[in-house]
Structure 1
Amino acid sequence: MSITKELEEILMVPGVTGYEEPIREYLSHKVTELGLSYQVDPLGNLITEVGSGDKNVILLAHMDELGLIVSYIEDNGYARFRKIHGVDDRMISGRAMNVLTENGPIPAVVGVKPPHLMSDKSEENKTVPWEHLYLDLGTRSRQETLDLGVDVLTPVVFQKQFNVLNGEYLSCRAMDDRFGCLVLLKVLENLINENLPYRLTCVWTVKEEIGLHGAKGIAASLAPNIAIAVDSFATADMPEVPFHLAPARLGEGPVLRAVDNYAMSDTFVRKFFQKVCREHNIPLQIAMTRGGTDGSALQAAGVPMLAVAVAVRYMHSMVEMIHRGDCEQLIQMLSLGLKEIPQIL
């Protein structure tokens, strides 16, 4: 299966923050297909390991995606919701959703007031705050909604459309961080028979989007010597945004997140991977950005950390976009670097 098809498949599996069970089940099946065992820790992180030795390197990516959660059901059947942290209000109105009941997904839409019914035309240019929005499930009473299996605390995910643009550009909701989840699988596949003289621990974390909670839990329990976080780089490679704010381009190689709002990649580890890329002719972009990754939780616990990424256009939107080649080169960089990393352990 091509990396494009693999990515499309992994993107379509739901895994809202705090409700990561479907994507964890998918990934654990993939780990088993590689002939590896795995464990799920008390927080819900999925963990597997190859190699042996006293030293331990962690490679991590977060499983969770942004979504909503049902907070109240009206007497007329409409369901109110809360955002799970970083959902942009501009992305919610008029969207098709899947409500993830225990019996399977139920389609719903987020209602939107049509311009025909706006008494004040200035409303047309305003973003409606999430507190004023609701889910329409096609029901006419609270009981009818409950009968569908929808209740308070039921998670809600955006319906997704995967597109390939001009052959190389891949666009879909939840590229952040499903591409990273796939990168970990491909690196494992490349290294599983290498007899690594150290333990390479791959961790798919939970609850990254609401405070890095999964990563905070593994810092003490796994005691790594080095941690490498694979996540997104919200690039300014688009019109109407000053490029210097996040200077990395799609199609020009993976990105080393040198500095963000919460962490700074370890200089020693960074220089090692720069050397790997030079020696193997892998293009590498080095840039600073805002936001943060699971890596900051490991760094706060005293672990030397490197944050790597691919450039992502339109972060936290319905059309997050990456370049396929960047993803492939990131897999190559990590696979080669992790074979050579005993030099610095």
Structure 2
Amino acid sequence: NGLVRVERLGGVPEKALPSQSVLFCVGEGRDRPGVIANKSHHATAPDEKYRVLPYPELYIDGGFESAEAVRAAGIDVGTPLVYEPKFLQLDGDRVAGTSVDDRAACAVIIEVARALRGADRMPTVHLVFSVQEEFNLRGALTAAQALSPDIAIQIDLILATDTPDMTTRGDVRLGGGPAMSLYSFHGRGTLNGTIPHPALVRLFDETAREEGLPLQRSAHIGALTETSYVQLVNAGVASIDVGFPTRYTHSSLELCDLADLEQLTTLLTAAIRRIDGSFSLDRDDFIQ
């Protein structure tokens, strides 16, 4: 009948999906728009109004009149579907957009690379833009196996907790500066997470203090990053997650503050420059 069912990939929140505009990723210049169907309000029974539909009950309407028309548009089993890209400039330095997680981190890494270019003293640095993070973190694990790093600094969102629905989850403010994670654990099927190496916690604490930068702290359950598996590669990799506060994660419009990204760039650049031959990863140096 021309309507399309989809399979879920990664942490897609069902309650944020109905009526969203999406794109079928057919190819450069050939992508096709669609809408995630939402039952007409006039036909919605009272007991349906507050029910969140599980994704197998959702379907995509691209305006096609038949299955043949869908295939003629280049859409078939296996065609990726994404939120339609959007970007909003909000008040001040705040922006909302599609896939701020983790496009914002990609922007930060590029700026760090520019800042480190030509530095007279720093360790060997590999900048990794990894794929399939939402599919069991496959890209980062392959990169770590190939590079065999001593240290992994993972750049990602940090859950902002300054909205009414998040106040019990910590004290991380949008616009409050970069943050580091002191504990993360997925807790939903994937029993993995990261407790950062104490040498790296000290590194970022001292760097932020000496550079006059704010550094927020986060500890949360429900999120998983690449360091969860990278830390297990070979004989072990000293790891830490640092990032930028973000609201409304995994929705079609995630929100961050550009000032936080700028300060995160400064923090990372300064911290990396402090790593030299005398930098100790011996845990005996950090016994409390």
TM over 0.5: yes
The alpha-carbon deviation at position 161 of structure 1 amounts to: 2.3
Check the 8 A contact 1:233/1:289 in 2, yes or no: no
Give the counterpart of 1:109 among 18, 21, 35: 35
Aligned equivalents of 1:207 and 1:196: distance in 2? 33
Residue 103 (structure 2) aligns with: 178
Residue 275 (structure 1) aligns with: 206
Residue 216 (structure 2) aligns with: 285
User: Structure 1 residues 148 and 281 mapped into 2: Cα distance closer, same or farther (>3 Å)?
Assistant: same
* Pairing 1:73-222 to 2, within 5 Å after superposition: 76-102=1-27, 104-118=30-44, 120-222=45-147
Aligned equivalents of 2:86 and 2:207: distance in 1? 36
Moved over 4 A (4+): none
The alpha-carbon deviation at position 139 of structure 1 amounts to: 1.1
Aligned equivalents of 2:208 and 2:160: distance in 1? 21
Residue 252 (structure 2) aligns with: 318
Looking at secondary structure, tell me which structure has more strand per residue. Answer: 1
The alpha-carbon deviation at position 222 of structure 1 amounts to: 0.6
Aligned equivalents of 2:16 and 2:218: distance in 1? 27
Residue 228 (structure 2) aligns with: 296
TM-score scaled to structure 2, two decimals? 0.89
The alpha-carbon deviation at position 289 of structure 1 amounts to: 1.5
Residue 246 (structure 1) aligns with: 170
Contiguous gaps of at least 5 residues in structure 1: 1-75
User: Structure 1 residues 237 and 122 mapped into 2: Cα distance closer, same or farther (>3 Å)?
Assistant: same
Partner amino acid, structure 2, of 1:316? H
Check the 8 A contact 1:256/1:309 in 2, yes or no: yes
Check the 8 A contact 2:159/2:246 in 1, yes or no: yes
Aligned equivalents of 2:254 and 2:86: distance in 1? 11
- Percent identity of the aligned residues? 28
1:344 aligns with 2:279: yes
Give the counterpart of 2:180 among 256, 262, 267: 256
Partner amino acid, structure 2, of 1:132? E
RMSD (Å), alpha carbons: 1.4
Aligned equivalents of 2:98 and 2:143: distance in 1? 27
Partner amino acid, structure 2, of 1:325? A
The alpha-carbon deviation at position 196 of structure 1 amounts to: 4.2
What is the DSSP-based 3-state SS (H/G/I as helix, E as strand, rest coil) of the residue aligned with 1:300? coil
The alpha-carbon deviation at position 266 of structure 1 amounts to: 0.8
Check the 8 A contact 2:96/2:254 in 1, yes or no: yes
What is the DSSP-based 3-state SS (H/G/I as helix, E as strand, rest coil) of the residue aligned with 2:5? strand
1:328 aligns with 2:253: no
